Amino acid sequence: MGQFDGKVVYITGIARGQGRKYATRFAAEGAKIIGCDIADKASAWTRYPASTPEDMAETEKLVAEAGGELFARVGDVRDLAFQQQLVADGVAHFGGRLDIVVANAGICNWGKLWEMDEEQWNDTIDINLTGYWKTLKASIPHMLEAGNGGAITLLSSVAGLKSMPMQAAYSASKHGVVGLAQTAAKELGRHGIRVNTVHPYGVLTPMGGKDEGAHEVFNDMPEFLPHFEPILGMGMAKTDDIADSVLFLSSEQARTITGTTFTVDMGATKV
């Protein structure tokens, strides 16, 4: 018996990294998974390896090995019609319910705010913030129709609580996610749907650990390093560390928690 037996979860950005970990962890606890990923380079301004169709296939294999079932398609969270069709088809495939949503797909890039290209700014906001709104717009009607309450978790960042230098677009997008989540929490509370944000420090994923842009910033502009130092000198988090919090916030143990900013940040927001 798993704590999410019979539940259906929609997760964006599942091809690898945090999204893959959420999918396998929910599957191991009995949930059915609806998922999407662009499985390609989402923006010309990112400088870490892009996810691939092979990554998507690996996620599907790992979900099956965990005892779960994955209904997934390749697509862009910026495409509202794609998300709406995917969620509708996934909900129908799994018997007409949707209980949990994890908005996770996102990008990160670097640059001084006055030197950023307009496309760089727009890509970041369109994926990290507007893409989250489209995820909610595509999924909330199905949660309401099912009438089972549920939980929505939006992945923000340390940068969603403490703005970071060289990350104007990223910080703005992640701060915006907090406002979006807290409005949703107020509107959905009477339906028994809880909405929270999770705020990690760096996580060991391709985006977190293989970003050439970050390496250049820290090598060329060490004066910015103090803004990124956490209290605990543990290095980057593992994907399981963040998944622990996402599964907790989605569970009955968190039934009294909504509208919160849940920090998993080694104290980085307090520095």
Q: Domain containing 193: what range? A: 8-258
Q: What is the pLDDT of residue 218?
A: 86
Quickly state the pLDDT bin for 1 (edges 50, 70, 90).
confident
Average pLDDT, the chain: 97
Quickly state the pLDDT bin for 54 (edges 50, 70, 90).
very high
Average pLDDT over residues 144-172: 97
pLDDT tens-place string over residues 70-106:
999 999 999 999 999 999 999 999 999 999 999 999 9
Burial call 182-213: b when 16+ CB within 10 Å, e when fewer = bebbeebeeeebbbbbbbbbbbbbebbeebeb
Q: What is the pLDDT of residue 68?
A: 97
Q: What is the pTM of this model?
A: 0.97
Identify the active-site residue in 10, 132, 170, 201. Answer: 170
pLDDT tens-place string over residues 96-111:
999 999 999 999 999 9
In this structure, what CATH number is given to the domain that contains residue 13? 3.40.50.720
Flag whether 56 is in a domain: yes
**CA–CA gap between residue 220 and residue 214 (Å, rounded):** 10
Q: What is the pLDDT of residue 217?
A: 87
Flag whether 93 is in a domain: yes
The number of folded domains in the chain is 1
For 5, other C-beta atoms within 10 Å of its C-beta total 10
**CA–CA gap between residue 187 and residue 103 (Å, rounded):** 18
pLDDT tens-place string over residues 190-236:
999 999 999 999 999 999 999 999 989 889 999 999 999 999 989 99
Flag whether 270 is in a domain: no
Active site residue 170: yes
**CA–CA gap between residue 62 and residue 20 (Å, rounded):** 9
Closest of 43, 209, 201 to residue 131, by C-alpha: 43
What single string gives the DSSP state of each residue in 142-187? HHHHHT--EEEEEE--GGGTS--TTBHHHHHHHHHHHHHHHHHHHH
Distances (CA, A) of 65 to 58, 91, 190: 10, 22, 37
